[in-house]
Amino acid sequence: MAISTTPTSFFLIAILVLLVPINHSFSSSSNGGNIHSELTDLRSQSPTGVIHLSDQLLRQILTVKIPRPFNFIIFFDAKQLHSKPELSLPTLKNEFNLLSSSFYTNNPENDKLFFFTIEFQESQTSFALFGVNSLPHLRLIPPSAIDLKKDSIQMDGSDLARLAESMAEFVEAKAKIDVGPIHRPPMISKKQIMGIVALGLVLSPFLVKKIVSGDTILHDKHVWMAGSIFIYFFSVSGAMFNIIRKMPMFMVDREDPGKLVYFYQGSGMQLGAEGFAVGFLYSIVGLLLAFMIHVLVRLKSRTVQRVVMLFALFVSFWAVKKVIHLDNWKTGYGIHAYWPSSWN
């Protein structure tokens, strides 16, 4: 049966057609304000400022009129993968929370950027909208983004190894928003410091007696020798950098998930394994030099001295050459030797 259209009904339909866009525009604008205030409330309820994102909340955000009055950045998580140490998802999530709390500490009145975490088990539809099929994954959605997969900006997975600092650089570069310094909690809490001080006061009479009598571990020269070697290795291996940045010993190759990467090609970041490798090579050179200065000179045989010295110099030259080769491969900068001009 065909639908008949009378002049009166046609007039009513025409009015409705004209009113729908106006009503839709008004609803989008009103909804945008409601969503913005709702996100601000959710952020204030979180201790770190990170909001848990669900499929429903994402749909509400997408109803906001383009361009949206805010950027938002999402950390994609999957609890079933937390047990895989090569992914470091719990560590990266903690660093993301640290980034969020630092941002809101530095910019308490800023409502132009929101931080979200989304769980795979709860929001598989949202994962599909973004086209996320591997973790770790961090993505920034600018105000003008319409297609979540094409218009959003993914952070390079290799940069995530630098943790919160690299995330802050990513936000500042892509969103043009100043994050500010990262406020990391102290390695030792105030309660721990108070406990150490109290323990020191209790043991101080016993320690003073031992020091005066010269019967302590600090009076053993072998302890000082071992400590010197440890400090030397600790210094040249970049261990302090690894501790501060919480760098992993290795990472998974993004092109081949079954392969582990121990040496990262690129300046500004190093993995724990490559730091220990360089520290080991430097320590070989240092120990051989100390051996030649303090032990080898005491040998009476000139022949043995020369043979051992030549062997030590050869090994030292090999170790330094390996370090230079690794630096050239990692940074792209070459180190060249120049003969004195008088030799030409």
pLDDT at 27: 40
Checking if the pLDDT of 312 tops 70, the result is yes
- 48-74 mean pLDDT: 91
How far apart are the C-alpha atoms of 106 and 183, rounded to whole Å?
A: 9
Say if residue 184 is exposed, middle or buried (CB neighbours under 10 Å; 0-12, 13-18, 19+): middle
pLDDT at 11: 40
How far apart are the C-alpha atoms of 145 and 152, rounded to whole Å?
A: 6
Question: Where residue 101 falls among pLDDT bands split at 50, 70, 90?
Answer: very high
Question: Where residue 114 falls among pLDDT bands split at 50, 70, 90?
Answer: very high
pLDDT at 2: 36
pLDDT at 311: 92
- 30-53 mean pLDDT: 84
pLDDT at 161: 67
Rounded to 5 degrees, what are φ and ψ at 250? -155, 170
Q: Which is higher by pLDDT, 33 or 134?
A: 134
Contacts of 155 (CB under 8 A, 6+ apart): 138, 139, 140, 167, 170
Checking if the pLDDT of 222 tops 90, the result is no
Give rounded-to-5 percent helix, strand, coil for the chain: 60, 10, 30
pLDDT tens digit string along 236-282?
888 887 777 777 777 777 677 677 878 877 766 778 888 888 889 88
pLDDT tens digit string along 140-156?
999 999 888 899 999 98
The answer to whether 196 touches 202, Cβ cutoff 8 Å, is no
pLDDT tens digit string along 161-183?
668 888 999 999 999 999 999 88
User: What CATH fold (topology level) applies to the domain 38-175?
Assistant: Glutaredoxin (3.40.30)
Checking if the pLDDT of 119 tops 90, the result is yes
Q: What is the mean pLDDT of the chain?
A: 81
- 101-125 mean pLDDT: 91
pLDDT tens digit string along 18-30?
333 333 333 444 4
pTM for this prediction: 0.56
pLDDT at 32: 53
pLDDT tens digit string along 324-342?
888 888 877 777 667 777 7
pLDDT at 54: 92
Query: Among all chains, which residue has been given the structure tokens 């848990």?
Result: 52
pLDDT at 10: 34
Contacts of 266 (CB under 8 A, 6+ apart): 158, 330
Q: Which is higher by pLDDT, 125 or 220?
A: 125
Say if residue 229 is exposed, middle or buried (CB neighbours under 10 Å; 0-12, 13-18, 19+): middle
pLDDT tens digit string along 86-100?
788 888 999 999 999
DSSP 208-255: HHHHHHT-SGGG-HHHHHHHHHHHHHHHHTTHHHHHHHT--S-EE-SS
